[in-house]
Chain A
Amino acid sequence: MEKTLIQLEHIHKSYGKQTIIEDLSLEVRDGEFLTLLGPSGCGKTTLLRMINGFETPDKGEVLLDGVNQVAIQPNKREVNTVFQSYALFPHLTVRENIEFSLKMKKVDKNEIKERVDEVLELTNLEALASRKPGKLSGGQQQRVAIARSLVNKPKVLLLDEPLGALDLKLRKQMQIELKKMQRRLGITYVYVTHDQEEALTISDRIVVLNKGNIEQIGEPFEIYHSPKTEFVASFLGESNFFEGKYENGVFHYGDAKIPVEANGTKDANLLSVRPEYININLGKTEENALEAMVTEVTYLGQTNRIELKLKDGKKVYALSEIEELEKGKKVFLTFHSKECTLLKKQEQ
């Protein structure tokens, strides 16, 4: 039985005349790695800051383990935060940074040493314990920031875009490290990011946010393969959208009849197909294949990104390992009928 650890209920927040969050409710389960994903300004960081207490909702409640947090100051909440800029104390060594919270809580000296040593080992920082933050690399500073929080054994660890400042290569390594650590420790993580690939890689569940509203919540695979709205389909990965009408297993796009196994809303007027589910055929293998011309081929290493133009001028993007595609070649496109999603077009 999954226990609910954090509850956000009917949260409202505005700054002056601008409403940031409107009537949002969310549950975080004990021991899960939950990601708040969305573009800049969607409210994800604001929500995180309501959990650690640096923001208060105008309306609504924040509950941790059933306890209403409204009256509890940030320094007394049983959560810890890893900030985007790490916010390490520049005048203290790595060890002193990690000890800080235990000292403030007046924990016994011997216990402090034991717990700090444990965390230093966990985060591989033993060799750097007496260095100051100024002498550490970005990746090392990142680990100190995490260590500093973990030493408290918090119920929840909040991470605010912690990998944003790192090089791509290091970021990918750290993603795996973070995930492994979370699994090992069993602590609940609430993670904020705008990078959807990152969210897909590390999360148990993803909350997709847009302009202060939850678009969809679910496991990465689920959200990616069965997006519920146009926003989700386009924000996670890439999507090709076709406007038309769905009727009895067939999506009518202009003259074309695209067979679709119903995956989504029945009164749909938008078909979403991911680039990897478009098959490029050199000949017209099926009756309902769409004719298209190759306009650009970009080498991506693991595969190629093919840009195509349909007869009506619409641009379509596909991923394919086929080597013989050059600009100007005429091809025929078919879609994986099971991997198309039917959606309703969203008002802007």
Chain B
Amino acid sequence: MKNIFFTPKICATHKLLCAKYSAGMENIMEKRGAIEIENLDKAFGENHVVNHISLSINAGEFISFLGPSGCGKTTILRMIAGFETIDGGDIKIDGESVIHLPPHKRQVNTVFQHYALFPHLNVYDNVAYGLKAKNVSKAKIKEEVTKALELVQLDGFEKRMISQMSGGQKQRVSIARAIVNKPPVLLLDEPLTALDMKLRKEMRYELRNIQQKLGITFIYVTHDQEEAMVMSDRIVVLNGGNIEQVGKPKEIYQSPRSAFVSDFIGETNSFDGMIYQVQGDLATLQCESGQFMAKTTLFKEKEFVNISIRPHQVKWKEEMQEGFHLKGVVKDYIFTGSFVNAVVELVNGREVRIARLAGEGLPKVGQTVFLYWNPEDTVVMKNPAGDFGNMMENMDLGEWVKK
């Protein structure tokens, strides 16, 4: 007898429903840790620290808040955690507003800059603290603490007292203590600042690995753009309480949207100048130091702009190249290890840097060089200053060629 329930049509629908159900479940599980920041605002007296910020953070993403001291990055983090009150706006975690909840009721955990470990407890008790407070069973606590310590590579250190541990070890205990609670969101407030440079660089990759293994959202605050570039899926560049740009590290590095961002991220050679001529998608720019080319259709002739080119994109030859009038003499080398920078002094005294990996292909000190580069690499942005009165009078193209 044919089974009337499992006709092909019902079968197919059944399969479809099952597929949707499990996909739905996965989506629900994946969606933990998404944050919506809406029009967030905060002022300390007259100081407008956070200025109507809106941002969407995806579940499972490693996002960094990057900016100089006082830009508001730590304040925003603390508002997400619940340690600061909000003057306006909303913060939603997984769709639910949390601004009325005290810190211990929010689904976030924080790793502090100075660890904030409990000095009177050993490693195990520090990490277990949050679980004990939630009355989790002893066996379960042991299981979770062991897992957490393994993840931060501190297995075997359970009985050590905090006072006997190094900075790097303390930081890892601090991380273990936060993640053992399995929060969907982990907040990290410049956690590596107190460490030696060498250890710091190593811990960056470790933290990245931990985040990828856990799959939870990491919100990381730092003033170190190298750190942000290495660790983040996306970077939020902040300045004076405002978001300057949000994007993937490569995007922000290659296509900065403002002079602040291009200057803050990585090294750059930056000029103030003017669009002299536009032919198709190729623009000729002029400034006090010289002339160069850029690929852009966003600007018109006679517009004042800010131009920047990264040191490792600057090329040089012993003869003048078409479209570029930048002549100078190599004054010095700056050695930073894997990269060597040649400092070129242009005819007007301005310095331009050329960077090369392992110093390969750099001109010699004392050599006269003509600089050029791929016009696509020139970053051109609107110049906020806008007025160059004198500059126009002082420009004399003929002079440069002679020198």
> B358 to A276, Cβ gap below 8 A?
yes
A193 to chain B, nearest CB (A): 8
> A196 to B229, Cβ gap below 8 A?
no
Assembly CA distance A300 to B143 (angstroms): 38
Task: Give 18 CB contacts A-B under 8 Å.
Answer: A39-B196, A138-B69, A167-B68, A167-B69, A169-B68, A169-B225, A170-B68, A200-B335, A201-B334, A236-B337, A275-B338, A276-B358, A300-B230, A301-B249, A301-B265, A302-B355, A319-B338, A321-B357
* B167 within 8 A of partner (CB): yes
* B224 within 8 A of partner (CB): yes
A75 to chain B, nearest CB (A): 32
- Residues of chain A within 8 A (CB-CB) of B337 are 196-197, 200, 224, 236-237
Assembly CA distance A52 to B250 (angstroms): 47
B-contact 0/1 string along A164-190, CB 8 Å cutoff: 000111100000100000000000000
Please pick, from B197, B225, B250, B358, the residue contacting A277 in the complex, using a CB distance under 8 A. B358
Assembly CA distance A305 to B357 (angstroms): 12
12 new A-B contacts, CB < 8 A, other than A40-B167, A196-B197, are A167-B69, A170-B68, A176-B334, A196-B198, A198-B197, A200-B335, A201-B334, A224-B337, A277-B358, A303-B357, A305-B230, A319-B357
Assembly CA distance A274 to B225 (angstroms): 23
- Residues of chain B within 8 A (CB-CB) of A319 are 338, 357
A164 to chain B, nearest CB (A): 9
> B338 to A201, Cβ gap below 8 A?
no
- Residues of chain A within 8 A (CB-CB) of B267 are 302
**Residues A302 and B358 in contact in the complex (CB < 8 Å), given A39-B196, A201-B334:** no
* B276 within 8 A of partner (CB): no
Please pick, from B69, B249, B334, B339, the residue contacting A302 in the complex, using a CB distance under 8 A. B339
* B253 within 8 A of partner (CB): yes
Closest to B311 in A: A302
A-contact 0/1 string along B217-251, CB 8 Å cutoff: 00000011110011000000000000000000110
* A299 within 8 A of partner (CB): yes
> B229 to A300, Cβ gap below 8 A?
yes
B-contact 0/1 string along A287-298, CB 8 Å cutoff: 000000000001
A37 to chain B, nearest CB (A): 10
* B264 within 8 A of partner (CB): yes
* B327 within 8 A of partner (CB): no
- Residues of chain B within 8 A (CB-CB) of A138 are 69
A219 to chain B, nearest CB (A): 9
B362 to chain A, nearest CB (A): 13
B228 to chain A, nearest CB (A): 10
> A220 to B335, Cβ gap below 8 A?
yes
Assembly CA distance A198 to B336 (angstroms): 7
Q: Which residues of B contact A (CB under 8 A)?
A: 68-69, 166-167, 196-199, 223-226, 229-230, 249-250, 253, 264-267, 310-312, 334-339, 355, 357-358
* 9 residue pairs, one from A and one from B, having the closest CB atoms: A195-B197, A237-B337, A301-B266, A167-B223, A276-B358, A168-B224, A302-B312, A194-B196, A276-B338
* A235 within 8 A of partner (CB): yes
B-contact 0/1 string along A37-60, CB 8 Å cutoff: 001100000000000000000000
> A224 to B335, Cβ gap below 8 A?
yes
- Residues of chain A within 8 A (CB-CB) of B339 are 302-303
Assembly CA distance A237 to B226 (angstroms): 15
> A302 to B266, Cβ gap below 8 A?
yes
Interface centre among A224, A237, A302, by most chain B C-beta atoms within 10 angstroms, is A302
Interface centre among B267, B312, B357, by most chain A C-beta atoms within 10 angstroms, is B357
Assembly CA distance A298 to B204 (angstroms): 12
B359 to chain A, nearest CB (A): 9
Closest to B224 in A: A168
- Residues of chain B within 8 A (CB-CB) of A40 are 166-167, 196
Assembly CA distance A303 to B250 (angstroms): 11
> A237 to B338, Cβ gap below 8 A?
yes
- Residues of chain B within 8 A (CB-CB) of A220 are 335
> B69 to A301, Cβ gap below 8 A?
no
Assembly CA distance A201 to B340 (angstroms): 10
- Residues of chain B within 8 A (CB-CB) of A274 are 338, 358
- Residues of chain B within 8 A (CB-CB) of A176 are 334
- Residues of chain A within 8 A (CB-CB) of B357 are 276, 302-303, 319, 321
A310 to chain B, nearest CB (A): 18
Assembly CA distance A194 to B198 (angstroms): 8
- Residues of chain A within 8 A (CB-CB) of B230 are 298, 300, 305
> B249 to A168, Cβ gap below 8 A?
no
B56 to chain A, nearest CB (A): 22
Assembly CA distance A274 to B336 (angstroms): 14
Assembly CA distance A331 to B271 (angstroms): 40
> B335 to A201, Cβ gap below 8 A?
yes
- Residues of chain B within 8 A (CB-CB) of A196 are 197-198, 337
- Residues of chain A within 8 A (CB-CB) of B223 are 167-169
> A299 to B229, Cβ gap below 8 A?
yes
- Residues of chain A within 8 A (CB-CB) of B229 are 299-301
- Residues of chain B within 8 A (CB-CB) of A198 are 197
Q: A16-41: which have CB < 8 Å to B?
A: 39-40
Closest to B209 in A: A296
A211 to chain B, nearest CB (A): 14
Closest to A38 in B: B196
> B197 to A197, Cβ gap below 8 A?
yes
